[in-house]
Amino acid sequence: MMKNVTEDIDTAEDKRCRWEMVETQIVARGIKDRKVISTMLEIPRHFFVPPQYRKEAYEDHPVPIGYGQTISQPYMVALMTELLDLEPTDKVLEVGTGSGYQAAIIAPNVSAIYTVERIPELVEYAKNNLSKLGGEFNKNIHIFLGDGSAGLKEYAPYDKIIVTAGARVLPKAYIEQLRDGGRLVIPVGGDFGQTLYLIRKEKGKIVEEAVCGCVFVPLITEGKERDG
């Protein structure tokens, strides 16, 4: 992905677009978590899209980032983050780093975030994008290349887990790596649409709550869709 010299600049017009995005796409749709709102106002979303899509960075839809992947619609980023109910002491697992934007929204509000991406080029892309924010924003973000459908066992358990790809069924690894009292946000379903679930682990039992319909790229492992 070629770099454009203007992509690292956060102009007054960018700030205006970001404010409008938050007010019309996020607050107006019922997002109330002040941490989510303030972070999305602060983080330049255009840092996380390819230069040719810069004008679409703040629009109400996903944006391609290459390799068949996308940066999620702003509202979906906000909704999934709010559902996590982040705390400053949380250790978070993200499956599907993509451009790094979701990690950037989570990171200022938690102790640490571990994020896994299966596409090597996107690992480097995310690292480059996050570096634009400076050390204070990304010092607690740890990016790994690997099969995110298996989680990241070596750093478990996690207080919160967020999955930004659609699973056909809920992978057991996520439940095993989620601490008791923790929350998991994941889309589950088929190729043409999924249901976003909030899953709580309470005294070893799983409580599922269907939140809304959604469409994500499929959760992949070793070239195949993950079946659990």
Residues contacting residue 64 through CB under 8 Å, at least 6 positions apart = 50, 53, 70
Tell me whether residue 72 is one of the annotated catalytic residues: yes
Spatial distance between the Cα atoms of 63 and 69, rounded to a whole number of angstroms:
9
Q: How far is CA 8 from the centre of its chain?
A: 21
Task: Note whether 107 and 56 are within 8 A (CB).
Answer: no
| H or E segment and range at residue 188 | strand 178-190
Spatial distance between the Cα atoms of 106 and 17, rounded to a whole number of angstroms:
21
Given 72, 99, 131, 149, the catalytic residue: 72
Per-position DSSP letters for 133-156, written without gaps between them: T-HHHHTTEEEEES-GGG--GGG-
- Which residues are tagged catalytic? 72
